[in-house]
Amino acid sequence: MTLHVDTPAPPRPGPRRPVGHRGTERSRGFARFDLRATPYFLVSPYFLLFAIFGVFPLGYTFWVSLHEWELAGDKTLVGFDNYIELITDGAFWNAVVNTLGMFAMSTIPQLALALVLANALNKRIRGRLFFRLGVLLPLITSVVAVAVVFTQLYGRDYGMINWFLSLFDVDAINWQNQKWSAWVAISTMIDWRWTGYNAIILLAAMQTIPKDLYEAAAIDGATARRQFWQITIPMLRPTIIFTVFISTIGGLTLFTEPVMFDGNPTMAGGTTGQYQTVAMFIVKEAFRDFDFGYAAAAAWLLFVLILIGTLINYSFTRRIGGSK
């Protein structure tokens, strides 16, 4: 790699120092400076770029949200009008309900399946690596590709899923058409991609649980099921919290799958917004309707939503495994 590294310039000692060898004094001065200052040089690229592309947009979004904001035109300060309008906007709440609904519908089965899968992957079997790689394949597949393939599989007339259901005398379903069916379709896309990843993360944590615990329990006659609930789950608590965090952020910012499921990137999320998410709502308000102030207010409400969601999930997951 040819990366250019800037060494911080050593401080120049005064032209004539009264004491000692100049060389030693100088290098000592440099060493002291090096110890104190270089760490800040090392972390500064991150914080500099982060300030520009992370902190600034966040704060500025709030400023924009207080305005009737046109990109190259008028910017009228309107206070909290955008927020007030948003709170009474049925379309916004529809997007919130969709987002939360699909989040719950995807995350709960996903983590349950991931636990089962991790437990299976933790057993002694030939070709371990092969299985681990296999369940990670979906993660490697890009979200857009996943959405395209699944949207076709869920196709009304020629989709494989409707064909399969027809074997059980179920009539062809137009998956885009209704809330529940669209939610199911999109949730399966999310779960297909992320279950294996979560299983691998949980597996890593499972392997740090001392095997003696299980062996002792087995000798005491505890069944495999009991071991799973009484040893595995409580010991996995921190990792489960971690996976819930990751899923919460991913789930509440859901965008690509529903956009591609629609076919037309109008951000409408179906004819009556059956699967429009908050992220789609924001993009629609800003870049289809050019109502930037409104979009910015929605972005801040999404942020608040994520904070609340994370807190609820945290307090809920804390109770897993019978801790006090």
Partner 1 sequence: MTAIQARRHQTASAARNHIWDAGPLTKIVLAFALVISAFPIYYMFIMATRTNEEAMDVPPPLLPGGHLGENVARLFSTEDAYFLTGLINSAIVAVTVTVSVVFISTLAGFAFAKLRFKGSKILLGLILVTMMVPLQQMGIVPLYELMVTLGWTGQLKAVILPFLVNGFGVFMMTQYATQAVPDELVEAARVDGASTMRIYVNVILPALRPGMAVLALLVFMQTWNEFMWPLIVLNPDNPVVQTSIAALNQAHGTDYVMLFTGTAASVLPLFIVFVAFGRQIVGGLMEGAVKA
Query: E strand or H helix at 142, and its extent?
Result: none
| Smallest distance from partner 1 to CB 15, Å | 23
Measured over the CA atoms of residue 127, residue 216, residue 114 and residue 244, the dihedral's sign is negative
The answer to whether 240 contacts partner 1 (rule: CB under 8 A) is: no
d(CA 17, CA 120) in angstroms, rounded, equals 71
Partnered with residue 83 across adjacent β-strands are none
Mask for 75-114, x = binds partner 1 (CB under 8 A): ----------------------------------------
Closest Cα to residue 175, out of 16, 165, 305? Answer: 165
The answer to whether 182 contacts partner 1 (rule: CB under 8 A) is: no
By the 8 A CB rule, do 298 and 281 touch?
Answer: yes
| Smallest distance from partner 1 to CB 19, Å | 21
Binder of partner 1 out of 101, 306, 320, 321 (CB under 8 A)? 306
Binder of partner 1 out of 77, 87, 170, 249 (CB under 8 A)? 249
| Smallest distance from partner 1 to CB 170, Å | 14
| Smallest distance from partner 1 to CB 21, Å | 15
Mask for 145-174, x = binds partner 1 (CB under 8 A): xx-xxx-xx---xx-x--x-----------
d(CA 242, CA 314) in angstroms, rounded, equals 9
Nearer to partner 1 by Cβ, of 36 and 324: the residue is 36
The answer to whether 304 contacts partner 1 (rule: CB under 8 A) is: no
Nearer to partner 1 by Cβ, of 46 and 93: the residue is 46
Closest Cα to residue 199, out of 317, 114, 293, 257? Answer: 114
Query: E strand or H helix at 244, and its extent?
Result: helix 237-252
DSSP codes, 73-101: S-EEE-TTHHHHHHHT-HHHHHHHHHHHH
For residue 215, count CB atoms less than 10 angstroms from its CB and return exposed for 0-12, middle for 13-18, buried for 19 or more.
exposed
Judged by CB under 8 A, the stretch of 77-85, 175-183, 255-263, 315-323 that binds partner 1 is 255-263
Residues 30-59 that bind partner 1 (CB under 8 A): 30-31, 34-36, 38-40, 42-43, 45-47, 49-50, 53-54, 56-58
Binder of partner 1 out of 95, 111, 121, 240 (CB under 8 A)? 121
In the numeric block, the tokens 């089965």 are attached to 109
Partnered with residue 77 across adjacent β-strands are 67
- Per-residue DSSP letter, 319: T
Hey, is 67 helix, strand or coil? strand
| Smallest distance from partner 1 to CB 104, Å | 18
How many residues at the interface with partner 1, by CB under 8 A? 108
The answer to whether 124 contacts partner 1 (rule: CB under 8 A) is: yes
Nearer to partner 1 by Cβ, of 15 and 284: the residue is 284
The answer to whether 271 contacts partner 1 (rule: CB under 8 A) is: no
| Smallest distance from partner 1 to CB 5, Å | 6
Two tokens at 175? 């998956």
